[in-house]
Structure formats: C-alpha cells, structure tokens
C-alpha cells in the first residue's frame, strides 16, 4: 500500500508538470530520465497524499465490507464494546492486506518497479498500475452502481469494462460493498435474534421482570458463537468471498 501511495503521488505530479514549470516556488530538476520533481516537492505531495490514505484504503480494498460485517456481528452478540473498535479495525485491516496482496504485487511489478528503474515515466507507471486495481474493482462492483456514477459524472458510456475510469469505479465499488455487507450482517443477526426472542418469552412467562432479557441471552449467544467456532467461520467466509 505504501508503494502504491508513493506511485500515485509521483505519477500525479509528473502528469501535471511540464519542463521548467514551478509549483509553490519549487521547480523541476533534471535527471538521467528527464524532468522530475525536486525532493522537497515530492515530500510535500507525499505528505498531502497520506491524508487521503484512509479514504483510499476503504475505497479500493475489502476493508469496508469486513469492518461493517464485524460491527454487525458485535451488535448481534450484544457485547457492546467487546471486541473494541481498535481490534475490529485492526482485524479488518489485516484481512484486507491478505486479500489485496496479489493485487499489490501486480501493481509493484507492473508499475512501481519499472518506474524505480527509470524504464517508464510516472504517467505510464500509473496507467500500468491501474490495470490490476481496475480488474479487482470491476470484479465486485455492480453494473447498476457503475451506471449510476457514470450518469452522475456525465461521462460517455464506456464501450468495454476496462474503459471505466477509477473515479467511477471507486464509489461504485463502495456502494456495492455496502450492500453486500448489510446483507451479510442481516444474515448474521438471525440466529442471535431467535435466541433473544426465546429468552425474552421465557423470562416474561416466569415473571422475571427485574432482569433485562438482553443480559440473560448474552451468555447463550456468546456460548453458541464459541461452540460453532464463529470467528473462524465469519473471517474465513469473508476472506473467501473475495476469491
């Protein structure tokens, strides 16, 4: 991900810069491969791009689906803040890194490595690196969502899937992932909801009104989740859903 971010920063700067241009008082410098941004400007652009890292992480990785599903799971279990938000985010991040590893390797070998060796320019490196990212997003973005953002951006209809720009694919992918995450979350809620209904009916029938049914059902839900090895099932199913 760091390599991808650095590649995006350098390529964006290279595409919009011309020989002899000056940006914020920092000019281009010459090297053996032609014009390039000076080190201070590269640092400035890199630090600026790092502020977009959380949005990029959610837009083009499985992080969004995993973290939403884990949030639904915690709500279904009724454990309030256990696991904590930090644990859920860390778990979602590691799952996203595992799933995106093949895509990251393709981006590195096709875009960053030739750029680092001075074989291609920044804009060409960006075009090459965008290919595996587009392929991943197209695999999971719904056609309906892509069509929506094509219409909203007033772009001409693409003749083939590879012609869809990343500015359209990223939000379409996010919308599709939200739909899938809510579907999975609803399915996860059902068995725990049944336990809540049964416990509530029993407690009311015996007149146990001084103890909330949620507190009584919580141990049963946790016990059921542990007995079926729930974490392995949920995490394994989420990771395999991106294959």
- Residue-wise pLDDT for 93-105, tens only, equals 899 888 888 888 8
C-alpha–C-alpha distance, residues 169 and 147, integer Å: 10
Residue 38 clears pLDDT 80, i.e. is over it: no
What confidence category does residue 179 fall into, taking pLDDT thresholds of 50, 70 and 90? Answer: very high
What pLDDT band is residue 182 in, cutting at 50, 70 and 90? very high
**Separation CA 10–CA 8 (nearest Å):** 6
Q: pLDDT by residue (tens digit) across 189-220?
A: 888 888 888 888 887 777 776 777 777 778 88
**pLDDT tens string 148-177:** 888 888 888 888 877 888 888 888 999 999
CA separation for the pair 222, 139 (Å, rounded): 35
Average pLDDT, the chain: 78
Q: Which string of DSSP letters, residue by residue, matches 213-239?
A: HHHHHHHHHHHHHHHTTHHHHHHHHHH
Determine which of 2-11, 94-103, 107-116 has the lowest per-residue pLDDT on average.
2-11
**Rounded CA gap, 138 and 154, in Å?**
20
pTM for this entry? 0.73
Q: Residue 28: what pLDDT? A: 43
pLDDT cut 90: percent of the chain above it:
7
């Amino acid at each position: 991900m760091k390599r991808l971010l650095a590649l995006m920063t350098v390529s964006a700067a290279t595409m919009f810069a011309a020989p002899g241009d000056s940006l914020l008082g920092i000019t281009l410098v010459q090297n053996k491969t032609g014009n390039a941004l000076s080190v201070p400007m590269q640092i400035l652009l890199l630090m600026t791009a790092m502020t977009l890292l959380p949005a990029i992480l959610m837009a083009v990785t499985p992080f969004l689906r995993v973290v939403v599903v884990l949030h639904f799971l915690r709500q279904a279990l009724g454990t309030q803040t256990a696991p904590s938000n930090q644990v859920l985010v860390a778990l979602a991040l590691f799952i996203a890194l595992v799933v995106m590893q093949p895509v990251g390797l393709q981006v590195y070998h096709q875009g960053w490595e030739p750029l680092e060796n001075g074989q291609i320019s920044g804009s060409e490196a960006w075009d090459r690196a965008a290919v595996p990212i587009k392929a991943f997003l197209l695999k999971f973005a719904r056609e309906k969502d892509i069509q929506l953002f094509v219409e909203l951006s007033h772009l001409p209809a693409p003749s083939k899937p590879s012609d869809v720009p990343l500015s359209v694919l990223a939000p379409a992918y996010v919308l599709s992932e939200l739909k899938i995450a809510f579907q999975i979350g609803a399915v996860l809620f059902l068995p725990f909801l049944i336990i809540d209904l049964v416990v509530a009916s029993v407690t009311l029938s015996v007149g146990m009104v001084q103890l909330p049914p949620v507190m009584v059902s919580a141990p049963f839900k946790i016990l059921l989740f542990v007995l079926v090895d729930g974490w392995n099932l949920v995490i394994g199913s989420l990771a395999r859903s991106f294959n």
